């Protein structure tokens, strides 16, 4: 498959026809040509072409979103407000989760903050994004351009969240545990827990788990494995629902309550796993419920709600 | 009469394109680091809106895979704006010398 094919398909969903024709397609076409010309060059060179090529396409898409927003001062101010609120809430939520973990650890070193940050992102990012929308965009009507910019941010946050959960968090968590173990005088290697396993290791743990085992560990492995895919979708589901609620005239507090409710449902679902609920169902319950609410608001709301859900 | 606005990047693009039609990536390479591949297509799109450049997709040979590349060239209007800006720039660089003389 030619590089950029999937990105082209994704861009077709989230970008306008003009952006697709003028920014995305020329950038991808140049990337494909450059990559094809580099056929006989080293792997490193081809990887460099892909890295810079993809970064260029994403940067172009982000630039277009910002450029469009700059056409209207009101849009720009609303987006800036949402961005500032979103960033501030994400940092606060992340700091709180880190502080709670560090408080429970017997020792402290400043670099623990860096090691614990990836663990907090899948929770802090959707909270920040949703509250950013609630505080930044609830003051007036939300334009189509602002909705597109928010949707683009939500997709980006989902990608970051998934990358963090699938690859960065397991490594960082294990490094944190090992470091604490060594600091209190422990010797040897700390055995990985389920949260420290990569996707492949988790998959293996899930496949090896005996069916119908009364021991909770296999169930937990399935729960964490499913959560790796389900939780990163939270920013997308919550952002779309927050946009729909804002367009519906909902107050800030309602949007905030919706965000709290999502994590409340997630915690309840986790508790139900121990009562015998399928961990696969439990992990996806919040997304399904809130996607259902989204469909409800889209179909029953005023016309501007429906337009808020159309991607481009 | 106001001269249409022309940013430094837009001027550079028009200067590069005045020699020959080019692809976006060619412009980035020819600019020796002055243009970035993430922003060049956005700027080119904006310049199209202003009527400074025009573009079209290359004809692909049968069996070619991948998306067709987009070629850019300046419009007559774009070249006139560039010429106007160059004459203004020349006049501004000359004026201090004239004052000193």
**ipTM (interface pTM):** 0.86
Record: contact B38-A56, CB cut-off 8 A: yes
Measured in angstroms, the CA of A51 and the nearest CA of chain B are apart by 12
Measured CA to CA, the distance from residue B73 to residue B18 in angstroms comes to 7
Q: In chain A, whose CA is at the least distance from the CA of B25?
A: A30
Measured CA to CA, the distance from residue A262 to residue A51 in angstroms comes to 35
- pLDDT at position A307: 44
Beta bridge partners of B23: B71
The contacts of residue A205 (CB under 8 Å, 6+ apart) are: A194, A197, A218, A221, A225
The b/e string for B63-80 (b: 16+ C-beta within 10 A; e otherwise) is: eeebbbbbbbebbeebbe
pTM for this predicted structure: 0.56
Beta bridge partners of B71: B23, B56
Q: For residue range A129-148, what is the model confidence (pLDDT) as tens digits?
A: 999 988 888 766 777 778 88
Asked if A52 is an interface residue toward chain B (Cβ–Cβ < 8 A), one would say: yes
Best mutation target among B24, B67, B70, B73 (most A Cβ atoms within 10 Å) is B67
Query: Burial, A253: exposed, middle or buried (Cβ in 10 Å; 0-12, 13-18, 19+)?
Result: exposed
- pLDDT at position A309: 43
Record: contact B41-A2, CB cut-off 8 A: no
Q: For residue range B70-86, what is the model confidence (pLDDT) as tens digits?
A: 999 999 999 999 999 88
Record: contact B67-A67, CB cut-off 8 A: no
Measured in angstroms, the CA of B42 and the nearest CA of chain A are apart by 6
Record: contact B41-A26, CB cut-off 8 A: yes
pLDDT band at B96 (very low <50, low <70, confident <90, very high): low
CA distance readout (Å), A247 to A78, A96, A220, A278, A309 = 14, 31, 39, 35, 10
- Tokens at B6, concatenated: 């022309």
Name the percent of chain A lying above pLDDT 90: 42
Asked if A66 is an interface residue toward chain B (Cβ–Cβ < 8 A), one would say: no
How many CA within 13 A on the CB side of residue A22? 20
Residues in chain B: 101
Q: For residue range A37-94, what is the model confidence (pLDDT) as tens digits?
A: 887 777 888 888 888 889 888 888 887 876 654 555 567 777 878 888 899 999 999 9
Beta bridge partners of B53: B74
What are the backbone dihedrals phi and psi of residue B17, each rounded to the nearest 5 degrees, phi first? Answer: -80, -15
A82 within 8 A of A136, measured Cβ to Cβ: yes
Predicted confidence (pLDDT) at residue B54 exceeds the cutoff of 70 = yes
Ordered alpha helix ranges (H), chain B: 8-17, 24-30, 37-50, 76-100
A142 within 8 A of A72, measured Cβ to Cβ: no
- Which of A220, A209, A240, A216 has its CA nearest to residue A280? A220
Predicted confidence (pLDDT) at residue A113 exceeds the cutoff of 90 = yes
What are the backbone dihedrals phi and psi of residue B23, each rounded to the nearest 5 degrees, phi first? Answer: -85, 165
Best mutation target among A28, A56, A64, A67 (most B Cβ atoms within 10 Å) is A56
**What is the arithmetic mean of pLDDT over A85-107?**
92
pLDDT band at A308 (very low <50, low <70, confident <90, very high): very low
The contacts of residue B96 (CB under 8 Å, 6+ apart) are: none
- Tokens at A257, concatenated: 């309550």
CB contacts of A57 in chain B (<8 Å) are 38
- pLDDT at position A301: 57
């Amino acid at each position: 498959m030619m590089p950029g094919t999937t990105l082209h398909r994704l861009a077709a969903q989230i970008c306008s026809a003009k952006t697709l024709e003028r920014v995305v397609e020329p950038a991808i076409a140049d990337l494909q040509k450059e990559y094809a010309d580099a056929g006989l060059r080293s792997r490193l060179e081809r990887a460099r072409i892909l890295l810079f090529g993809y970064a260029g396409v994403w940067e172009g898409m982000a630039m277009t979103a910002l450029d469009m927003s700059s056409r209207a001062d009101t849009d720009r101010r609303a987006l800036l407000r949402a961005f500032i609120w979103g960033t501030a809430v994400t940092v606060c939520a992340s700091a709180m989760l880190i502080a709670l973990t560090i408080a429970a650890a017997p020792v402290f070193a400043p670099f623990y903050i860096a090691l614990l940050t990836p663990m907090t992102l899948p929770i802090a990012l959707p909270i920040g994004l949703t509250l950013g929308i609630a505080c930044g965009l609830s003051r007036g009507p939300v334009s189509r351009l602002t909705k597109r910019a928010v949707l683009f941010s939500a997709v980006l946050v989902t990608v970051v969240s998934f990358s963090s959960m699938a690859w960065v968090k397991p490594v960082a968590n294990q490094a944190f545990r090992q470091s604490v173990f060594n600091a209190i005088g422990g010797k040897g290697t700390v055995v990985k827990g389920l949260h420290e396993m990569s996707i492949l290791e988790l998959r293996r743990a899930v496949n090896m788990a005996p069916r119908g085992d009364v021991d909770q560990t296999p169930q937990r492995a399935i729960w964490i494995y499913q959560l790796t895919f389900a939780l990163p979708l939270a920013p997308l589901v919550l952002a779309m629902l927050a946009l729909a609620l804002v367009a519906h005239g909902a107050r800030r507090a309602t949007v905030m309550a919706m965000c709290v409710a999502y994590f409340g449902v997630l915690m309840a679902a986790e508790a139900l796993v121990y009562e015998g609920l399928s961990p696969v169902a439990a992990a996806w319950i919040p997304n399904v419920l809130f996607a259902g609410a989204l469909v409800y608001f889209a179909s029953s709301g005023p016309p501007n709600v429906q337009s808020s859900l159309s991607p481009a | 009469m106001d001269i249409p606005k022309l940013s430094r990047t837009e001027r550079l693009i028009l200067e590069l394109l005045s020699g020959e039609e080019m692809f976006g990536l060619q412009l980035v390479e020819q600019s020796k680091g002055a243009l970035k591949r993430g922003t060049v297509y956005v700027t080119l799109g904006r310049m199209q809106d202003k009527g400074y450049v025009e573009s079209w997709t290359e004809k692909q040979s049968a069996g070619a895979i991948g998306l067709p590349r987009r070629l850019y060239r300046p419009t007559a209007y774009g070249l006139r704006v560039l010429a106007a800006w160059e004459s203004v720039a020349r006049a501004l660089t000359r004026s201090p010398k004239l004052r000193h003389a």
